[in-house]
Amino acid sequence: MASVEISGLRKLYGSVVALSDINVSIPSGTFYTLLGPSGCGKTTLLRTIAGFHSQSSGDISVEGRSIAHLPAHQRDVAMVFQDYAVFPHLSVRDNIAFGLKQRRIEANEIRQRVDQVMEVVQLGKFANRMPHELSGGQQQRVGLARAIVVRPKVLLMDEPLSNLDAKLRVDLRAELRRIQQDLGVTTIYVTHDQEEALALSDVVCVMEGGVIQQAASPLDVYLRPANRFVASFVGSNNFLDVDCSGAEAALKCGGEQVLLDLPNQHSGDAVCAIRPEDITVVPGKGSSASDRPEISIPVRIKEVSFIGREMEVFGVTEHGETLKSVSRSDPSVIDLPLDSDAQFCIERHNLSFFEKEPLGGRIG
C-alpha cells in the first residue's frame, strides 16, 4: 500500500518519443487505469514503472522513495502479464511461491500464504496442477495470485483480461476489483477496453501519442472529457462543425442557423460533440427554432439497425454529415423506410464543444 509519484517522465527510442512529460500522482490504494489505443504509450509507461525499460529522464517514486534507477528485480512492484507468463515447468503452488522463495521467506509461512491466496483467487483445488492443465482464466488467476502473494507496494497489470473470452472477462473483472479493494493495494492497470476501464477504476488516465490527455474519475472522463480525443475515444460521439464566422457561433440545421451559446466567446474553428444516447429520433419533418431548449436537426434516415435492447439509427444531415443515435427500440422508427425524413433532437445542455483539431481542448 503506497502512493506513486511520477514526475517529468520521458522515454525516447532513438528519435521517437514514446512517452513525454508524464506527471502522475496516485494516492495509496487507488485503482489507476491507463487507457488508450494501441501505440499510445500506456504499456511503455507500465513497463518503465516495472523497470523493464529505463526512462530517458524523469523520476518514479513509491512512498516518496525513488525507484527509477533500481534494477527491475529490486522494485517490489508485482506485475500481472497479458499472456499470463505462468512458468510452464512449475506447478500452480510453485508458481505462486516463486516470489516468496525469492524473498527468502520461511517455508511454513510460504505454505500458509500460498494456501490463503489460492482461496482468494479460487484456485484451492488446483494447487498441484501443472499450468498446461489449466484454462486461460485459471492461468491468469495464478498470475494474479503470484503477484499479490508477495504483498507488493504496487500491483501492475498489463491488459490481464484481453486474452480471455468475453463472458469470463466480465466475471474476472468484477473479481479483480473485489480483490483489489479487499487488499487495498495501489494498482496500475493498462487496458484498451474503455468499458473495462470505466467499470474498474478510481481514476482513468487516457493516453495518446505518449502524452496523458486526461486523468480523472470515470464519470468525469465520460461526462466532461478534457479534449476532443478523450470525447471520441471514451464512449462514442458525433462531431458537428460549428460555424464561427458570424457574430455568434451557430450550428447549421437545414436552412436555418441554430445559435449556440458558446461559452467564453471562442475564436477559431470549433466542433460540437453529441453523444449518440442523447439523440432522440422523431419521424417526419419538423421545424427548429433557436429559442427552444431542444435543437432538432433534420436528417434523412440512412440505416436503422435493431440490436435487441437498443436500436442504432444513422441519419445524414443536409450538409452530408452522418449522425448516429442510440436509443430504446421504437417500432415506429425501426419501420422507417430508408431516405425518409426524420428529426434528431438534442437537449442543449447535452452539447459540449471542442477546438476542431484532433487533440483540441474543451471549450467551456
Partner 1 sequence: MNLSLSRQRLDFWTVVTIAIIVMLSLLLVLPILRVLLLGFIDPDTGNFTLGNFIEVFTRNYYVNGLKNTLFVGVLGTVGACLIGVPLAFFTTRFIVRGKALISTLAILVLVSPPFIGAYAWIMILGSNGVVTNFFGNFGLDIPTIYGAHGIILVFSLKFFPFIFLMTQTALNAVNKSLEDAAENLGCSPWQRFYKITLPLVFPAVSTGAIICFVLAIADFGTPAILGRGFRTLSTIALSAYRSELGGPPTMAVTVSILMMAISMLALLAQRRILSKRRYASSLTNLPVPVRLKGWKNMLVHVLSHGIVILAMIPSAVVVYTSFLKTNGPVFVGGFGLESYQRIWRDAPEAITNSFVFAISAVVFITIASGLISYVIVRRETRAAASIDFLMMVPYLVPGVVMAIGFVTVFRNGFPDVFSAAALLIMIYFIRRLPYGVRSTTSSLRQIKPSLEEAAVNLGATPLGAFMKVTVPLILPGIIVGSLMSFITAINELSSTLIIYDSGTITMPVQVYVAVLDGEFGIAAALSTILLLSTGACVYAVFRFTENRDSAFL
Q: How many Å apart are CA 91 and CA 73, to the nearest integer? A: 22
Q: Which positions ≥6 away from 266 have C-beta within 8 Å?
A: 244, 249, 353, 355, 363
Quick one: which segment of 64-72, 111-119, 254-262, 314-322 binds partner 1 (CB under 8 A)? Answer: 64-72
Residue 117: phi and psi, rounded to 5, are -70, -30
Does residue 92 sit in helix, strand or coil? helix
Q: For partner 1, which residue of 9, 34, 40, 79 counts as binding (CB under 8 A)?
A: 79
User: For residues 43 and 33, what is the distance between their CA atoms, to the nearest angstrom?
Assistant: 11
What is the total count of residues that contact partner 1 (CB under 8 A)? 29
Q: Which listed residue (85, 127, 259, 282) binds partner 1 by CB under 8 A?
A: 85
Fill in the amino acid letter for 315.
G
The radius of gyration computed from the CA coordinates of the chain, to the nearest angstrom, equals 25
73 touches partner 1 by CB under 8 A: yes
For the bound state, the minimum distance from the C-beta of residue 333 to partner 1, rounded and expressed in Å, comes to 44
- Count the residues in the chain: 364
The tally of CA atoms less than 13 A away on the side-chain side of residue 97 is 19
143/225 with CB nearer partner 1: 143
Q: What is the dihedral of CA 241, 246, 250, 252, to 10 degrees?
A: -70
Q: To the nearest whole angstrom, how small is the minimum distance from the Cβ of residue 85 to partner 1?
A: 4
| 11 vs 75, beta carbon nearer partner 1 | 75
Q: Report the residue from 81, 222, 306, 314 that binds partner 1 according to the rule CB under 8 A.
A: 81
Smaller CB separation from partner 1, 82 or 290: 82
Name the β-bridge partners of 301.
315
Choose one: 80-88, 173-181, 277-285, 342-350; the region binding partner 1 (CB under 8 A).
Answer: 80-88
Here the cell at position 240 is: 458537428
Question: Of 87, 222, 306, 314, which lies in the binding site for partner 1, with binding defined by CB under 8 A?
Answer: 87
Enter the DSSP assignment of 196. Answer: H
Site map (CB under 8 A) of partner 1, residues 95-114, x = contact: ---xx--xx-----------
314 binds partner 1 (CB under 8 A): no
Alpha helices in the chain (DSSP H): 42-50, 92-102, 107-120, 136-148, 166-183, 194-200, 218-223, 228-233, 331-334
Span near partner 1 by CB under 8 A; candidates 74-82, 287-295, 319-327, 333-341: 74-82
Q: Which 110-169 positions form the footprint of partner 1 (CB under 8 A)?
A: 143, 146-147, 150
Positions touching partner 1 (CB under 8 A) are 50-52, 54, 69, 71-79, 81-83, 85, 87-89, 98-99, 102-103, 143, 146-147, 150
